Amino acid sequence: MKAVVLAGGYATRLWPITKHRPKMLLPVGEDTVIDIIFEDLEEDERIDEVFVSTNEAFATEFEEYLADSEYEKPTLSVEETREEDEKFGVVGAIEELIEREGVDDDLVVVAGDNLLSFEMSEFIDYFESKGTPAIAAYDVGSYDKAKSYGLVELDGEKVVDFQEKPEDPKSTLVSIACYAFRQEDLPKFDEYLTSGNNPDEPGWFIQWLQSQEDVHAFTFDGAWFDIGTPDSYLDAVAWKLDDENYINESATIENSELGTNVHVMAGATVTDSSLDDTIVFPNTTIVDSDIKRSIIDEGTRIEGLEFSGALIGAHTKITDEMV
């Protein structure tokens, strides 16, 4: 069995934090977002190779990351795009990877920006027990949130309807970009695309596939985060930290008050300040400031400020004298 970890998104809603780094490599506690998926796939003996599907813009970052890691299964598979408007679409990227890498086995596909509360082995067990294509589905508990995803309707565990990003969702059960396909299903990607169907969202492919054969849904409780916005990234870190704080041993905290879910990375300094629900990247300096629910990129200096809900790019200097 092969696996594909989708890591080709440009994450423009997280700019400037992700303008020069893949969002899958954003830190979440001691790990990165993608580490949690890699660790699961590394441990599952049924998976013999993991393709990391990314674009030319981030290929170097992933090459360096994988070279420094201890993972044995991942290999980089690069699509020839450098800008958001050049993307093949997710379905197109999967089909291109299948052809490029000569994949001819059962295939698990998971978005690299997924933070999941279940282990991938549980999903693979489910897929093998059903003997059909399978998706993972989660109840987001909000009709408004459901509008942003592929809506799943089930009869028992069988998918009987699938609607991609409906304007008027009838339920809150959504697909979470985690799929498994049998070897015999793989040619259907080409059939779907050559028929002129939507190459972008995988939900359109699942909707088409479900109309032709049985597809089953693995549902789960717990947590799921689709890390694509500042709020979702902060929420994912808060879930991982579980109301604790994670302070790198080389960071300096002096005469400061830390609330909960504060992540301060290597070489950062926080002095005479208050932080809550905030992520501070390496080598940033914060002095005499009160900061809540914000993300502050590396090498930045903040002094004498009070703010909430900010997203501040790398190597920025903002002081009370400048405001």
User: How high is the pLDDT of residue 140?
Assistant: 87
The backbone torsions φ and ψ at residue 215, rounded to the nearest 5 degrees and listed phi first, read -130, 135
Return the CATH fold of 243-319. UDP N-Acetylglucosamine Acyltransferase; domain 1 (2.160.10)
Sheet holding 257-258, edge to edge: 257-258, 274-276, 290-292, 306-308
82 has pLDDT over 70: no
* Mean pLDDT in residue range 150-168: 86
User: How high is the pLDDT of residue 307?
Assistant: 94
Q: What is the tens place of the pLDDT at every residue in 292-313?
A: 999 999 999 999 999 999 999 9
User: How high is the pLDDT of residue 323?
Assistant: 59
Q: For a pLDDT cut of 70, what percent of the chain falls above it?
A: 96
234 touches 29 (CB < 8 A): no
* Mean pLDDT in residue range 266-289: 96
197 has pLDDT over 50: yes
Q: Which of 61-75, 256-270, 291-305 has the lowest mean pLDDT?
A: 61-75
Per-residue tokens: 14: 């997280």
Per-residue tokens: 192: 């779907």
pTM for this prediction: 0.87
User: How high is the pLDDT of residue 58?
Assistant: 83
* Mean pLDDT in residue range 185-193: 93
| Ranges of CATH 2.160.10.10 domains, the chain | 243-319
Q: SS3 of 170, please?
A: coil
The residue type found at 126 is: Y
The residue type found at 100 is: R
Chosen CATH of 2-232 out of 3.30.450.20, 1.20.1050.10, 3.40.309.10, 3.90.550.10: 3.90.550.10
CA-CA distance, 278 to 294, in Å (whole number)?
Answer: 5
CA-CA distance, 296 to 310, in Å (whole number)?
Answer: 8
User: How high is the pLDDT of residue 22?
Assistant: 83
CA-CA distance, 157 to 204, in Å (whole number)?
Answer: 19
* Mean pLDDT in residue range 147-157: 87
Closest CA to 149 of 160, 138, 133: 138
Q: What is the tens place of the pLDDT at every residue in 239-257?
A: 889 899 999 999 999 999 9
* Mean pLDDT in residue range 209-230: 89
User: How high is the pLDDT of residue 279?
Assistant: 96
Q: Which of 154-163, 260-269, 276-285 has the lowest mean pLDDT?
A: 154-163
Taking the CB of residue 306, how many other CB atoms lie within 10 A of it?
Answer: 12
204 has pLDDT over 70: yes
User: How high is the pLDDT of residue 134?
Assistant: 96
Q: Which of 85-94, 104-113, 141-150, 203-212 has the lowest mean pLDDT?
A: 85-94
* Mean pLDDT in residue range 32-45: 90
| Ranges of CATH 3.90.550.10 domains, the chain | 2-232
Confidence of residue 85 (pLDDT cuts 50, 70, 90): very low
User: How high is the pLDDT of residue 177?
Assistant: 86
Confidence of residue 84 (pLDDT cuts 50, 70, 90): very low
